[in-house]
Amino acid sequence: MAINRRIVMTGVVMAVSFMMLFATLAVTTGASAASTDQSSQITTEVGPTSDLGGGDHFLVKFGSDAAFGILWGNETNHNNIYFVSYVSRYLGYINVDYPNGSLITKQPLKIYTLYAVQLDRLIEYNDSDGNGALNYSPFAGTVFSDLLGLGHEQIYKGVNLDTAWTASNWQNGTEVNGNLTWSFTVTATNLSYSYNPRYDASKDMSGDNMLNSISLTFHIMASTKHEDNMAIPQWNVTMTRGLFGQPKFSDLDRSNDLNVSGNVTDYHVKWSKDIEGWDVDPQDANPTIMAEYHVLVVNYVPPRVTGLMALAECQKMIAATGDNGTMTADNGALDGLSNIAAFSLHTPRLTFGGLTSRIGLFEWVQNCTVDGRNENATGQVTALMPFNVHYRGNEFYGFIASVGISYPAGSSIVQDPDISSQALTDVALTGNSGGGGGNPVSPFSGVAVGLLLVVVVGVVLAVLITSRRKGGKGPDFYEKKTEPKSEWSDYYEKK
């Protein structure tokens, strides 16, 4: 499965208006904080996986709440390359005041996030305006289906990187400057071009009509430290009664921060992308190659939180903290981008997160090497879409973005992007922060629950009947049922 083929089209079909609702915890470490190296507890996992379409994978893990790594297709299960962070995130502690007078104190606001960057395809185009950006519709389904005659620059051909990759050159678990490091290379060879159907491919007489090889050499670093005396937010939440007596979010204000201890795992992967044997079209007056990435950020709110209030009310509560999360470039937040107007990036990085924190950082070196020459790489964001999906029995909410990095075309192209992230795990209140915790008692009354269930069941039946009368498949159409539950179902994301 490729994000832009199935997951993205799911988001398009659903046409929902959700944006990324959850941001990362801003953690401040006090001056007297103790720090203890815990890197010896980092483990790795290598081998087959069924996640994200399947293939092989390499994971760096700390406990059950932090997993980072790389996934790639193999001979028996073709796939793209994915960079993944899948861990828990703490947004602080909440005190919930219900209209019946009950009060729940110091409950951890802990959610889970998948942050994935997919290397999808390579595209050759004519950069006729010289700005190093290509205007096209990345979520249209294929690289050529977006040619609408609206002033787009000419696309000549593309290479789909949903293929078989071979891993080699493995170096495992070396310690460098307090970090554990791993390195290996994945390579795909002899990849056929897909040509623009509006272009006469017979005029392209250059080369052997295939990309000879593309390889990515990964350098992965990870470290974990136990930290004391970290400050995290505390929020006072006020609830009111809804139409059927159910708790509804009303208001939120920030109280004094709480001191906690926890384990902080830092993760960083830098890779060298080496493209060899690209056959530049002789008709291309301004030949440019773009590597297209798709970035997915989706979040799940677990039952421990939704036990305090309904999912929609949780979303409102988290939004009220002012740390909803977005994609930031050039010191500004991006949202609502069109699907046919690329946003050129003036700085070589994208930050994913909220007002005071981040989920991950995607950046790249602006210099690249093309046929032995030093050249400049340029970046763009082509589209940013709200997104939700019913996945493995849970509702995930967030956004997906299409990102491109362009290079002057040549037979040999080398460039170095990197991704970083961080997880906070095993959080516990310290000092005089007080107690809290335990499984909260549902504030729903039996009568209200019964009445609400009747309403919900009626709505669900109406949706099912209506959708099937119209030839639809009903809500289950959006659940990806082709992938069995895998070992990643217990790991989540943070930064």
Structural domain including 235 reads 3-490
Instruction: Give residue 462's region: left, alpha or beta (phi > 0; psi -120 to 50).
Output: alpha
- Residue 476 in any domain: the answer is yes
Chain segment 463-477, per-residue pLDDT in tens:
333 333 333 322 222
Within 10 angstroms of residue 71's Cβ, the number of other Cβ atoms is 24
Question: DSSP letter at 346?
Answer: S
Within 10 angstroms of residue 243's Cβ, the number of other Cβ atoms is 10
Question: Has residue 174 got a pLDDT over 60?
Answer: yes
Distance CA 82, CA 490 (A): 19
**What's the rounded mean pLDDT across residues 199-224?**
83
Q: In this structure, are residues 439 and 308 in contact, taking their beta carbons and an 8 Å threshold?
A: no
Which of the pair, 203 or 70, is modelled with greater confidence?
70
Which of the pair, 64 or 495, is modelled with greater confidence?
64
Q: In this structure, are residues 161 and 289 in contact, taking their beta carbons and an 8 Å threshold?
A: no
Q: How far is CA 396 from the centre of its chain?
A: 11
Distance CA 247, CA 155 (A): 54
**Of the ranges 6-15, 228-237, 479-488, which one carries the lowest mean pLDDT score?**
479-488
Q: In this structure, are residues 196 and 156 in contact, taking their beta carbons and an 8 Å threshold?
A: yes
Confidence of residue 206 (pLDDT cuts 50, 70, 90): low
Output the 3-class SS for 356-402: CCEEEEEEECCEEEECCEEEECEEEEEEEEEEEEEECCEEEEEEEEE
Question: Has residue 34 got a pLDDT over 50?
Answer: yes
Question: DSSP letter at 319?
Answer: H
For 42-69, b where at least 16 C-beta lie within 10 A, e where not — what string? beeeeeebbbbbbbbbbbbbbbebbbbb
- Beta bridge partners of residue 401, listed in sequence order: 295, 384
Distance CA 361, CA 418 (A): 8
Tokens 């993760």 — which residue?
A: 267
- Residue 208 in any domain: the answer is yes
Within 10 angstroms of residue 34's Cβ, the number of other Cβ atoms is 12
- Beta bridge partners of residue 419, listed in sequence order: 269, 362
Burial class (CB in 10 A: 0-12, 13-18, 19+), 100: exposed
pLDDT at 462: 34
Distance CA 38, CA 69 (A): 19
Q: Which amino acid is at 205?
A: M
Distance CA 329, CA 295 (A): 14
**What's the rounded mean pLDDT across residues 14-26?**
29
Q: Which two tokens stand for residue 46?
A: 């290598």
What are the residues whose beta carbons fall under 8 Å from the beta carbon of 128, sequence distance 6 or more? 153, 154, 285, 286
Distance CA 294, CA 5 (A): 11
Confidence of residue 204 (pLDDT cuts 50, 70, 90): low
Domain count, the chain: 1
Distance CA 166, CA 217 (A): 12
Q: What is the mean pLDDT of the chain?
A: 76
Q: In this structure, are residues 66 and 425 in contact, taking their beta carbons and an 8 Å threshold?
A: yes
Question: DSSP letter at 303?
Answer: H
Q: In this structure, are residues 17 and 386 in contact, taking their beta carbons and an 8 Å threshold?
A: yes
Q: In this structure, are residues 50 and 483 in contact, taking their beta carbons and an 8 Å threshold?
A: yes
Within 10 angstroms of residue 148's Cβ, the number of other Cβ atoms is 11
Distance CA 100, CA 445 (A): 10
- Residue 284 in any domain: the answer is yes
pTM of the model: 0.78
pLDDT at 175: 83
Q: In this structure, are residues 285 and 407 in contact, taking their beta carbons and an 8 Å threshold?
A: no
pLDDT at 184: 94
Question: Has residue 363 got a pLDDT over 70?
Answer: yes
Within 10 angstroms of residue 457's Cβ, the number of other Cβ atoms is 10
- Residue 169 in any domain: the answer is yes
Question: Has residue 343 got a pLDDT over 60?
Answer: yes
Distance CA 272, CA 84 (A): 17
Complete DSSP assignment for 445-490: -HHHHHHHHHHHHHHHHHHHHHHHHTT---GGGGS--SS---GGGG
Q: In this structure, are residues 339 and 401 in contact, taking their beta carbons and an 8 Å threshold?
A: no
φ, ψ for residue 391, nearest 5 deg: -130, 120
pLDDT at 434: 58
CA atoms within 13 A on the CB side of 356: 11
Q: Where are the beta strands (DSSP E) in 98-209?
A: 103-126, 155-160, 166-176, 179-192, 194-195
- Beta bridge partners of residue 417, listed in sequence order: 364
**What's the rounded mean pLDDT across residues 365-380?**
93
Chain segment 123-143, per-residue pLDDT in tens:
999 999 888 998 887 766 554
- Residue 21 in any domain: the answer is yes
- Residue 419 in any domain: the answer is yes
Chain segment 50-104, per-residue pLDDT in tens:
888 899 999 999 988 889 999 999 999 999 999 998 888 888 899 999 998 899 9
- Residue 495 in any domain: the answer is no
Q: In this structure, are residues 479 and 390 in contact, taking their beta carbons and an 8 Å threshold?
A: yes
Percent of the chain scored above 70 by pLDDT?
71
Distance CA 88, CA 110 (A): 7
Tokens 């977006």 — which residue?
A: 146
Chain segment 305-321, per-residue pLDDT in tens:
888 889 889 889 988 87
